[in-house]
Amino acid sequence: MADERKNLLFILGESHAPRLMGAAGNRFIKTPNLDRLARRGVIFDAAYCASPLCVPARAAIATGRFPHETGYWDSSMAFDGARMSWMRRLREAGYETAGIGKMHFRSDDDDNGYSRFIDTMHIADGIGDLVSALRFKGEEPTYQGLWDIWTSQYGPGDSSPYRRYDERIVAEAVGWLGTEATSTARPWALSVHFIAAHAPFVTPEAFYDLYDPASLPPPPRFAMDERPNHPSAAHLRKTICHRDDVTMDQVQEVRAAYFATVSYLDDLIGRVLSSLEDLGLAATTQIVYTSDHGFSCGDHGLFGLFHLYEESLGVPLLMAGPDVPPGGRIGDPVSHVDLYPTILETCGVPLTPDERDAQGASLWRLIDGAERRDSVFAEYHGTGTTSAGYVLRQGSWKLIYFVGMAPQLFDLAADPDEAHDLADDPRHAERLDDMIAKLRQRVDPEALDRMAKGDQRALIERHGGEARVVEAMAGFAYSPPPGMSWQAVNAPRKQR
């Protein structure tokens, strides 16, 4: 990679499942702009978030650190600028840094690293979803509102506050490129964070009309006799109020609406990329696209995120721009924590000794073909779990380990849908033991479980105790865009 400093356009989607791109091999989804970006650069086929929940995932992207390293565990413990971010490192190195859209940090009042915040969205009231912290007891109240949003609030239209906010985000991004990026003498780094493809799956009719529910492939492992019966999945279904009487026709309608929202996200990204090109900035700008986490839409009989199967934990990841060879494809497993050192190297900012000791590593060695990787780690301490969950992937083998529960083992090369848990197969006993041992070399699963729950218990006590939190947060399902209260955006409404 050349040494001259580049501009950076960092684009973050929301709830975008890793396989939902044409460039990822999906022949049903329509993502022409992301596909074109992939042809210009490199697609990472085995990229993972650090934790499958908005707030800890976004904190890990910003800091290059896992939740157990920072204490940003769940939906109520958000990035607050206390840890160094790549945005602040770039700003201190002379970059103009700007953030637009859904950050899901604590507040603009914190030094999150941006020179300027533009129409940014953070956790509700600076405290977020406190109910999620009640999992320290081993069980939190149920989320009927989430189930309703995912399975009944969808269809064509422009009535969604989230979609209206997405339009503001893209307008601000295009405006910033046309004014600030073209006039500053300093290198710049612009972060554009969209809400799409977050539910409600309400999109302009042109996108909704792209998909016929009857023509889409059904979700893998949706049938009752195919779903995983692991206690972690059973508890998640209970927490999110999953109904067992949902028909395949109903699921396919939701999937069509979700696909439409992904295509709408692709269109938003396309408008930003077109502006970059029209302004003559593409030749000097590195582009990174990813999502905070994935999303299940009936896969494994689950809706939403909050779990460690591929649809929730995996993310799309693309890089394009100067020095990125076109048409590249990398199958080595990589993590969001790798973005911090990758971005600093992209922008010619050297790592400090502390940063060199972090678990993430620059992706440029993979892009250049100088190294290979076979291991990646993730963890989860949030909504819908009774105990901490961990993933260790080595090559095609994937271990899922929830504290106090039976481990799960999958061979993703032979079984990409994670249909066959091999943990009880004596032929793989040695591999299972080896992967659990390697997980324990990396972290102490039980100690981190206690640590996360201790922090969550203390947070609940600071907010007046369990009863007060449950009363105050009644009806909370998702964060409001700027200018709205969470009570207004979470008000019951029916789209279908």
pLDDT averaged over the chain? Answer: 94
pLDDT average, residue stretch 108-114: 96
pLDDT band at 491 (very low <50, low <70, confident <90, very high): low
pLDDT of residue 1: 43
CB 80 within 8 A of CB 97: no
How confident is the model at residue 2, as a pLDDT?
39
Q: What are phi and psi of 477, to 5 degrees?
A: -130, -40
Per-residue confidence band for 133, with pLDDT thresholds at 50, 70 and 90: very high
Whether residue 464 has pLDDT greater than 90: yes
| Least confident window among 2-16, 292-306, 313-327 | 2-16
> CB neighbours (10 Å) of residue 93?
17
pLDDT for 223 equals 86
pLDDT in tens, 37-52: 999 999 999 999 999 9
One-letter amino acid identity for 262?
A: V
pLDDT in tens, 441-455: 999 999 999 999 999
Superfamily of domain 7-489: Alkaline Phosphatase, subunit A (3.40.720.10)
Q: Is the pLDDT of residue 477 over 90?
A: no
Per-residue model confidence (pLDDT) at position 92: 97
Q: What is the pLDDT of residues 149-191, one digit of tens each?
A: 888 889 998 878 999 999 999 999 999 999 999 999 999 999 9
Between 76 and 494, the more confident residue is 76
Question: What is the per-residue pLDDT for 265?
Answer: 98
**Region of poorest pLDDT, from 28-42, 374-388, 402-416, 467-481:** 467-481
Which one has a higher pLDDT value, 493 or 396?
Answer: 396
Q: What is the mean pLDDT of residues 88-94?
A: 97
Q: Is residue 3 scored above 50 in pLDDT?
A: no
Residue 495 has pLDDT above 90, yes or no: no
Which of 1 and 83 is assigned the larger pLDDT?
83
